[in-house]
Amino acid sequence: MMKPKISFLTRFFLILMISVPLAVQAALPDFTVIVEEAKDSVVNISTKTKARKSNSGSKHPIPNFPDGSELGELFDKFFGNDEFGKRRRDSQSLGSGFIISEDGYILTNHHVISGADEVIVRLANRAEYVARIIGSDQASDIALLKVEAENLPVLRFGNSDDLKVGEWVLAIGSPFGFDHSVTAGIISALGRSLPSDNYVPFIQTDVAINPGNSGGPLFNLEGEVIGINSQIYSRTGGFMGLSFAIPIELAVDVANQIKQNGRVSRGWLGVLIQEVTRELAESFGMDTPQGALVAKVLENSPAAEAGLQVGDVIVEFNGKKVIRSSGLPPLVGRSAVGKNAEVTIIRNQSRMQIKVKIAELPTSMTKASYTPEADAEPEENSALGMSVKNLTKSTRKKFKVESGVEVIDVESNGSAQEAGIAIGDIITMIDNQAVTSVEDFEQITEDLKSGKSVALLVQKRSGPVFLAIRPEDS
């Protein structure tokens, strides 16, 4: 019986079909060694919050009896239930953490232990400890715990500055209470800023993170911790492919400050900033939109003392480029208080450097001062697709501004409306020139060149903001 002949192309494709899966398999990382080395240092964290007694909304208000009173216990037995007649129970929550010292210091998230009356740490060997909260910092979402134990396994730290988008990372935690669950993925982005976290340049990954993973470590392929899993973006409450981790250097710095000083201090520049759009970049003579645009310089701040001005664009801070405005707060926050920082700015289309002595971020800001003036009959003027009038005493007080003009009308589909200007806004600067009155507004707008975007500093109810507008569209 003759054997069928196999052509050269057939053999080639058979070999290719076998070799490609093997090559793909060989290219995938092996996480088993990392997990084996790190799992004993990852802990489960559970918290308990005692139910608070409250008489609000009760048909039978409970009198305030002394602790241990038999009459008090009797009242609580019959009237200390919720609206459905069920007993109120202590609430519990779950999270993760990891050991950073042999004598029992543990890192986790602030939101994992926030408001807890008791924190219980469970190790991989099932041993449990009641942890002491050394301190926590809400701004960075970092908490430092301590358990009374010795010779605990410690994790190694890496350097998040060396990370690259696309590299593999691994997470270990307790999602939904399932201890030591392992998930893997890649880094999706670096230095990501979230609306509620100005001082944390998050590491974005697609590692599956769910409730209970918070506070757990994020590893690189060397088995080093490079972040603490903190948040997810979700419309359902579960994982949707967007996870965010706090860089380990920031977390360790916060933990050290908590341990040594009992609190966290951050650098303060004293400016309000915004993003530089393409239109604003054109108005400032910049080739590309980048940096942090200074919309306001706070009084008696380091920025004011150093000579920073409204309209300056900060493009570098201590030698590190500021690509987006969100990149500046983390750089300032981690700066040493009392030390000089070198700030590179663009002012009037010229690049210059300014030294700023960084101060400590104050816990509260002083309200802007205001000098009352008598109201006068406001003058009016129309230009750039809007009508304006001089400020009254009440408007100055309401917006906390000393000068400017108030927008009283905006043309439909005009340039002002397209730029985002609304009735009630205060125009304080046009094309880097201060606007103190309607007369200033009129003179400045008459001299503007058509066909080129110019920047307007607008005081809205939410705060100052630069907007770009084209005079030719007015």
Question: Do 320 and 384 lie in a common domain?
Answer: no
Sole residue written with tokens 């700066």: 335
Tell me, yes or no, whether 375 lies in a domain. no
Per-residue model confidence as pLDDT tens digits over 176-222: 888 899 999 999 999 888 876 678 999 999 999 999 999 999 999 99
Give the CATH number, domain containing residue 164.
2.40.10.10
Number of other residues whose CB lies within 10 A of the CB of residue 442? 16
Range with the lowest mean pLDDT among 83-87, 227-231, 445-449?
Answer: 83-87
Report the number of distinct structural domains present in the chain: 4
Question: Do 272 and 255 lie in a common domain?
Answer: no
Prediction pTM value:
0.67
Question: Do 185 and 280 lie in a common domain?
Answer: no
What are the beta bridge partners of residue 312? Answer: none
Tell me, yes or no, whether 397 lies in a domain. yes
The catalytic site residues sit at: 111, 141, 214
Question: Do 190 and 238 lie in a common domain?
Answer: yes
Span 41-70, mean pLDDT? 63
Contact by Cβ (8 Å): 391, 405: yes
**Structural domain harbouring 204:** 160-261
pLDDT of 372: 32
Question: Do 130 and 43 lie in a common domain?
Answer: yes
Question: Do 240 and 282 lie in a common domain?
Answer: no
Question: Do 47 and 141 lie in a common domain?
Answer: yes
Extract the runs of DSSP E, i.e. beta strands, from 195-317: 197-205, 217-219, 225-232, 243-247, 267-268, 271-275, 292-297, 313-317
Question: Do 172 and 213 lie in a common domain?
Answer: yes
Residue 101 confidence (pLDDT) above 90: yes
Tell me, yes or no, whether 454 lies in a domain. yes
Mean of pLDDT over the chain: 82
Sole residue written with tokens 């080093």: 224
Q: Among residues of the chain, what percentage have pLDDT more than 90?
A: 43
Helix (H) or strand (E) holding 252: helix 248-261
Tell me, yes or no, whether 34 lies in a domain. no
Tell me, yes or no, whether 58 lies in a domain. no
